[in-house]
Structure 1
Amino acid sequence: MSYAYPNAPFRPARRNSTSGPSNILVQMQNALPPWAQQWIAELRAQPRAGRRRSPSELKAMGRSTIRRVVKIANALILFWVWTLWWGERTVFQESLEGCGWGEWEKWPSHATPHHVAFVADPQLVDPHTYPGRPWPLSTLTVKFTDQYLRRSFSSMQRNLGPDSVLFLGDLFDGGREWATGTTSSPDERYKKYKDSFWKKEYSRFGRIFSDQFKEGDALSRDPLGRRMIASLPGNHDLGFGSGIKVPVRDRFQTFFGRGNRVDVLGNHTFVSVDTVSLSAMDQPDPQTGSTGTGSGDGKSPNEAIWKEAEEFLNQMNVHRAKAETHELKSLRGQAEGYQFHHAAVEVKEPSLGQLPQSETVGLPTILLTHVPLYRKAATPCGPYREHYPPSSSDEELQEDEQNSLKISGGYQYQNVLTQTISNDLVSKVGPNLVHVYSGDDHDYCEIAHREFSGSPREITVKSLSWAMGVRRPGFVLTSLWNPIDPTTGKSLEAISPTLQNHLCLLPDQLSIFIHYAMILVLTLVVLLARAVLVTIYPSQSNNADAGPILPLTKVQRHVPTSSISSSTIFAPHGLASRGTNTNSRSFEYYPEKGHEGSPTKGTFSGQGHGQRSGNENGKGVLGAVWGAFFGEVWFVAKVVLGWYIFLIWRW
């Protein structure tokens, strides 16, 4: 049978529906989040250009836009963005607001002080720090402690720009354990860590500190340039006393410089002494068991360990004179080095080939030691000690056991130097000793050594790391001003004292993490409550992308299209509103898309159909709640985690 269609216009063949552009756009639209699909649908439903929208349409569009933007999830995301910015940036800036040099130093208006920052015990976390901590917790510990140190040091440079930065030892935590070419750790757990591991730790130290040091160049006013000195060793770098291995110390000095040295900074003479090695003088030899500084055969036990530091102290006048003379020559703008007389002499004629003699100028002297000097037991450390504040407000309190630095020792450590070592150290450094800076204890301590001439004060500097037992790490800033005559080295103004100190406290990282945890709990509670309300009371929800109202049970049978009420309205997600009553029983039908979006089978939700029991209904409700909950959690988490990764990656 044939049919004719006169005057019918020609129609080209329809393209394959699976490859048509319109179908591709539909698939792309279906892949978008529900709120984006709703937004596109509303755009399509808007009047075409040229037709003015009525006030009611504009009002409805405004309400719809507000509902999409003002959502609980979006509000939580904004709250997290602000919180993370505060915890990763703001707290570091705020912690240094009171540390600006002009906030605390008190010099005449014409003064040009030299600014010094003392850093103690960064103790880079390594396998020695928490040997039983499993992965990935161990890796995260290293990551976050390094990040804290880098941020703190970078903030110090960018905001304060000290002219000199001096480290007070314990740069590493397990530096003494890592093998050299001839030694290995006595602990079986660390024998596998070779010399290459120590060198990687050295590079790590450089990335954290050396790379950030240049950030303060623009703020320095010292015409002789800035300096960072990290050669003073601690007991975690070398060991302590007779436990030190000479190859381990040689390696440290090869990379960081000699631990015994003299530097002139801001017209003050800084004397650094390797006291962890010097302490071997009055410790028993690990092989012979003898003690003291000498033995019957003329040799001293542990001599290879303490000899270098002792010889340095015995020649202190020579070292000081050389350093101070060199500084005066630099201030006068003279060429570096020494001038020799050029003459032909007899071989036996002495002295002409020697360096010209220098004289000690007598600049104020500052002693640097990793281990604090000896003091009487229960000597109070003052009000800035974190763990144990003073037990009394009496500033003249002579004893305070809890507030004091404990006089004790153990394997590879000693809280204070012995009285013998301390007396020898102070007497040989010189009569101009005005201050002592030390580390090792991790907490702050400040005392006056009245047993020594001039009662020099000693400050034990806090650790810079939040993993060293203090909640508020810190560092000490020192302002030096001692104007001198470049020719004679004599002071031009009678100033006493010539230095001022200020303790800077850093953020409490543990409290920041606790704050994050509290916000996380609040976020989960809010999103869970929202999921319950949206699932059980959908009409009260203002979300345009709300999911199904009640749990759904799929019916494995074909449902004729005619059985569906014509008043049923299909929501953007396939969510239907209430249909008309059928046999006094309400039901909802949620079509599922088949080919070309045609409904092939349906989902019923309602009462009276006998298709599920009360237990199944409860499980379905719970599943719908959890589904909505995890969907919102993921929506918030992917934005917040991305922002957090950006913050910790960028700085």
Structure 2
Amino acid sequence: MSYAYPRSAGASSLPSFNSVPGQASGIVRQALEGLPATAKQWFAEGASSFRGTRGRSDPRGVVGLVLRRLFTVANAIVVMWLFTLWWGERTVFQDAIDRCVWESWEKWPQGATPHHVAFIADPQLVDPHTYPGRPWPLSTLTVKYTDQYMRRAFASIQDNLEPDSVLFLGDLFDGGREWATSTSVSPEDRYKKIKDSFWKKEYGRFMKIFMDPWLKQYSDPVDGRGRRIIASLPGNHDLGFGNGIQEPVRRRFQSHFGNGNRVDIIGNHTFVSIDTVSLSAMDQPDPLTGSSRTSEGEEDEFARPIWKDADEFLDQMVTHKATAETEELRVLQNRSEDVLFKHRIVEAGDDSVEQLPNPKSAGFPTILLTHVPLYRKAATPCGPLRERLPPSAPGLEEDEPNSLRLGGGYQYQNVLTQTISNELVSKAGPNVVQVYSGDDHDYCEVIHREFNGSPNEITVKSLSWAMGVRHPGFLLTSLWNPIDPITGETTQKSSSPTIQNHLCLLPDQLGIFIHYLCILGLSITILLAQALYTTFYSPELPTPRERLRPPPLRETHLPPQPPVPDIRSTFPSGGLIGRAGISPSPRHYPSGKPYHDTYRGLDGDDVVSTKDKGLYRPAVAAKGVRAKTVLVWRTFVRLVRSVAIAVLGVYFVLIWRW
């Protein structure tokens, strides 16, 4: 016979072993303690938030937890950095290019179809020659960021402005003249060990920075003549200057980029490019020697003068221009050279060579390209667009700070000599209307009234931010010269200009870095203040191990229990009591509360009083200055680490993707 006893409140049908409610089992505790510290903290705070007075399934508790996790000082700093990095790595470049769109500054008649040209000057790829004393890793970072800057700038030009032609004005490399060839070495001892293979790697860098973005752009010019990119004009950093040029170095440059002396017809204008760094040897002492070094330390008195090629090209300039202009008119007329060979039998002594008629010049406006600027009087002002030193006052005839300094040094000369300049302009033809040059790295615009036609010369800014200017730049030129395709004469009724120029400024990369440093200083200050506040004025959260450890039991005094009588003989065997061996008894709790109610914070309010040292302890309880300092430092490092992981991840993605 069995007897069933009614259950009391809180009683259990299973034997009681005085287990503490809420205490994790050994397996669960080991699993939790094996988690990382951050995961433990999240788990502990999440569990504490869900044990609120409103119940574990209350969605407002979840929302509160999410909001507390999102709206923190560290996350606010991360958001500030996200906006800053997007501005410094994307917005500034896009804004700079948007200010240069052709429609915003061109002033051609309605229906005009101009030819668009972009001039790039002095990229001077940074190499060991640029900053020889700069240590690693600063030297490597300089190369990385200058290359990235020019690649971004040139890619933005191609993607947004889509120029029909791109012309470089020399100084493609910085130390190109110093790197050895198979038959020559650098005249400087510190560069003698650098071989020709290094120059070829630099050539690959140049192609990656400039040619790759150019090849990705497929739109054809409106005149149907095809897109062009010309980088054959050498600078003094590519070859040297005057007698300092080595012939093997020049041959290497020409084999990869083409001849520096050439004539091109672009937009119905005749572009004349002259290798003036080689031509300048003609006006140096003993010009017949030129660059006579064929090997280290040796001279060949029979070597061809280094200036001879450019001088002969100028002597035949009339023929070169007429040939190029005649060929351009044939293309516009969709005709061939009209050369028909006569099929006839001739005597052995007869002249069977067909003589072509001499080409006639169409008289296109001539544009002269030279790396080194033309000669001008000392203190000739460069105009208001010069960055380094703007004009002292408007309208000055002489302004020394705003001018190009007349002088030179090892392998360079700021301007051509007066003799070279006069020969260059006079032999280029009577209709030179514009001159473009580089070398100075800053903008300069002068009118050469000493020459026929008073051509205007623009010295184009460097594209690199490592060349001494805070705002690098490039020059956009719009050409519109409508002509009769038969005669080559202009169809404009008035003698209006056929060239319009516009200087485009690029972002101040050094200023961007300074802005980053300011934001970094502000971020560190805020995080340090947060660490101090958390330590001295806000309750300190216990460590993850302390959060997962059950709170200590409070000392309770249970009333003595009466002895359990031996009732095995009172009831027959087979009943409930006989099988259990002990009579179940209801549990007794002090003050009428279950045990788990004696532990504050387990099932009570979500916000626990700071006086309860079982869960929270005031940070000011730390004894001594050293303990407080260590606590501040650990909190600060934790905040910095959480911000740095997010910010650096975004930054590396931005610089890697573009």
TM-score interval for Structure 1 and Structure 2 normalised by the shorter chain: 0.7 to 0.9
Contact kept? 1:160, 1:216, Cα under 8 Å: no
In structure 1, the residue matched to 2:232 is: 231
TM-score normalised per structure 2: 0.81
Deviation at 1:37, TM superposition (A): 2.0
Displacement of 1:62 in angstroms is 3.4
- Other-structure match for 2:416: 417
Distance, in Å, in 1 between the alignment partners of 2:646 and 2:529 is: 21
Q: Does the CA-based 8 Å contact 2:220-2:227 persist in structure 1?
A: no
SS of 1:618's equivalent in the other structure is: helix
Distance 1:143 1:179 in 2: 24
Instruction: Name the structure 2 match of 1:245.
Output: 246
Residue in 2 that maps onto 1:37: 43
Cα deviation per residue 1:45-82 (whole Å; 9 max; x = unaligned)? Answer: 5899xx996xxx55554333221110111111111011
Q: Secondary structure at the match of 1:131?
A: coil
1:171 corresponds in structure 2 to 172
The separation in 2 between residues aligned to 1:306 and 1:35, in whole angstroms, is 76
C-alpha distance in structure 2 between counterparts of 1:24 and 1:332, whole Å:
88
Hey, what's the Cα distance between the residues in 2 that align with 1:303 and 1:18? 94
In our comparison, the structure showing a higher alpha carbon Rg is 2
Tell me which amino acid in the other structure corresponds to 1:497: P
Whichever residue aligns with residue 636 of structure 1, its letter is V
Q: How far apart are the structure 1 equivalents of 2:456 and 2:161?
A: 24
CA-to-partner distance for each residue in 1:558-584, whole Å, 9 max, x for gaps? x9866799646589xxx996566xxxx
Please list, as runs of the form range in 1=range in 2, the aligned pairs for 1:97-116 lying within 5 A after superposition: 97-116=98-117
After TM superposition, the structure 1 = structure 2 runs for residues 200-349 of structure 1, keeping only pairs within 5 Å, are 200-218=201-219, 220-285=221-286, 303-335=304-336, 340-346=341-347, 348-349=349-350
User: What residue is the counterpart of 1:392 in the other structure?
Assistant: 393
- Tell me the amino acid that sits aligned with residue 455 of structure 2: P
Q: 2-side partners of 1:349 and 1:253: how far apart?
A: 41
Asked if 1 retains the 8 angstrom alpha-carbon contact of 2:51 and 2:602, the reply is: no
The equivalent of 1:134 in structure 2 is 135
Aligned to 1:490: 489
3-state SS of 2:630 partner: helix
Contact 1:281 1:302 in 2 (8 A): no
Matches within 5 A, 1:443-462: 443-462=442-461
Change beyond 3 A, Cα 1:449–1:215: same
Amino acid at match of 1:37: F
- Is the contact made by 1:161 and 1:219 (CA closer than 8 Å) also made in structure 2? no
Aligned-partner Cα distance in 2 for 1:476–1:61: 58
Separation (CA, whole Å) in 1 of partners of 2:465 and 2:481? 35
Contact residue 288 and residue 305 of structure 2 kept, 8 A: no
Work out whether 1:633 is the aligned partner of 2:632: no
Q: Read off the aligned partner of 2:446 and give its amino acid letter.
A: I
Query: Is the 1:570–1:576 contact (alpha carbons within 8 Å) kept by the matching residues of 2?
Result: no
Aligned pair in 2 of structure 1 residues 478, 52: CA closer, same or farther (>3 Å)? same
C-alpha distance in 2 between matches for 1:225 and 1:207: 22
Question: 1:405 touches 1:415 (CA, 8 Å); kept in 2?
Answer: yes
Which residue of structure 2 aligns with residue 536 of structure 1?
536
Give the TM-score of the pair, scaled to structure 1: 0.82
Q: Is the 8 A contact 1:168 1:230 kept in 2?
A: yes
* Cα distance in structure 1, aligned partners of 2:25 and 2:179: 65
Is the contact made by 1:372 and 1:415 (CA closer than 8 Å) also made in structure 2?
yes
1:186 aligns with 2:187: yes
Give CA deviations for 1:356-410 in whole Å, capped at 9, x if unaligned. Answer: 432111111000000000111111111001111111122xx21111111111111
* SS of residue matched to 2:238: helix
Instruction: Provide the rounded CA distance (Å) in 2 between the counterparts of 1:569 and 1:481.
Output: 82
SS in 2 for 1:478: strand
- Structure 1 position 33, deviation (Å): 3.6
Q: Name the aligned partner's letter for residue 511 of structure 1.
A: G
SS of equivalent to 2:237: helix
* Structure 2 spans left out of the alignment, 5+ residues: 1-12, 16-23, 293-299, 557-596
Report the counterpart of residue 296 of structure 1 in structure 2.
Answer: none
Q: CA separation of 1:69/1:605 partners in 2, compared to 1, >3 Å: closer, same or farther? A: closer
Shift of 1:322: 1.7
Deviations 1:173-211 (A, max 9, x none): 000000000000111111111000000000000000000
Aligned-pair distance for 1:216?
Answer: 3.8
Structure 1 residue aligned with 2:512: 512
Residues 535 and 625, structure 1, Cα contact 8 Å, conserved in 2: yes
Structure-2 residue corresponding to 1:650: 657
1:94 partner letter? D
- Paired residues for 1:594-605 under 5 Å: none
Q: Secondary structure at the match of 1:504?
A: strand
Structure 1 residue ranges without an equivalent (≥5) = 1-6, 10-16, 292-298, 540-545, 553-558, 581-587, 592-602
User: Residue deviations 1:154-176, cap 9 Å, x none?
Assistant: 11111100000000000000000
- Of 98-107 and 317-326, deviating more is 317-326
Identity %: 59
For residue 496 of structure 1, report the CA deviation from its aligned partner.
2.0
Alignment partner of 2:458: what SS?
A: strand
Name the CA distance, whole Å, in 2 between partners of 1:175 and 1:101.
34
- Structure-2 separation of matches of 1:343 and 1:242: 54
The verdict on how the C-alpha distance between 1:568 and 1:382 changes in structure 2, with shifts beyond 3 A counting, is same
Q: Deviations over 1:301-334 (max 9, x none)?
A: 9852000001111111111122112211222223
> Secondary structure in 1 aligned to 2:163?
coil
Q: 1: CA distance between counterparts of 2:221 and 2:159?
A: 11
Do the aligned partners of 2:414 and 2:440 also contact (CA within 8 Å) in 1? yes
Alignment partner of 1:522: what SS? Answer: helix
How many residues in Structure 1 have an aligned counterpart in Structure 2? 581
